[in-house]
Amino acid sequence: MSVLHGHETMRDRLRSIPVFLDAGGARFQEHGLPDNPLPAIGAWILAADAAGQQEPHAMSLCTVDASGAPSSRALIVKDIDDDHLFFAPPSDSRKGLDIAANPRMAAHFH
């Protein structure tokens, strides 16, 4: 481990950083969510924007390529309708090729 100041390690510093201070004790509840999460995602993005969150439409998109190697990229959501979440990687980009090889993916919003 690297030493930062005196005997302080990176682990010590990382563990001293406060975690989820603004969570207010609220817990995410999976039950009661709609079968289609897209309208809820849109509402959450708009609520985050109204609350002043910077770039609430940014997401990490995680895919795997044809060989199963994982990849993650930051992208911007361009649109949401009842059936689709739209983002804009070119179809010939690494991300586009990953999606063509294996359309299963995960998106993460902060």
Q: What's residue 78's pLDDT?
A: 94
Q: What is the mean pLDDT of residues 82-98?
A: 85
Note the pLDDT tens digit of each residue in 7-50.
Answer: 788 898 888 888 877 666 666 677 777 888 898 899 999 999 99
Burial 17-54 (b: 16+ CB within 10 A, else e): eeeeeeeeeeeeeeeeeeeeeeeebbeebeebeeeeee
Place 96 in a pLDDT band, splitting at 50, 70 and 90.
confident
Q: What's residue 26's pLDDT?
A: 63
Is the pTM higher than 0.85?
Answer: no
